Amino acid sequence: MKQDDRPLTAAVRPAGRRPGWDEYFMDIAEVVARRSTCLRRQVGAVIVKERRILASGYNGAPAGLKHCLETGCLREQKKVPPGERHELCRGLHAEQNALIQAAVYGTAIQGAVCYVTHQPCVLCAKILINAGIKKVVFQGEYPDSMALEMFEEAGVELINYQRGF
Angstrom distance (rounded) from CA 69 to CA 64: 14
Which segments of the chain does DSSP mark as H helices, in order? 21-33, 68-71, 74-77, 94-104, 122-131, 145-154
Q: Which of 76, 84, 95, 141 is catalytic?
A: 95
Q: Decide: 117 and 45 in contact? Cβ < 8 Å.
A: yes
What are 112-137's pLDDT values in tens digits? 999 999 999 999 999 999 999 999 99
For the chain, which residues score pLDDT lower than 50?
Answer: 1-8
pLDDT, position 86: 85
pLDDT, position 53: 98
Q: Is 118 annotated as a binding residue?
A: no
Q: Decide: 46 and 53 in contact? Cβ < 8 Å.
A: yes
Q: Is 73 annotated as a binding residue?
A: no
Q: Is 114 annotated as a binding residue?
A: no
- 53: enclosing H helix or E strand: strand 52-58
Q: Annotated catalytic, 95?
A: yes
CATH architecture entry for 21-160: 3-Layer(aba) Sandwich (3.40)
pLDDT, position 151: 98
Residue 145: strand, helix, or coil: helix
pLDDT, position 5: 41
pLDDT, position 1: 38
- Parse the chain into domains and list their residue ranges: 21-160
Give the CA count within 13 Å in the CB-facing half-sphere of 101. 19
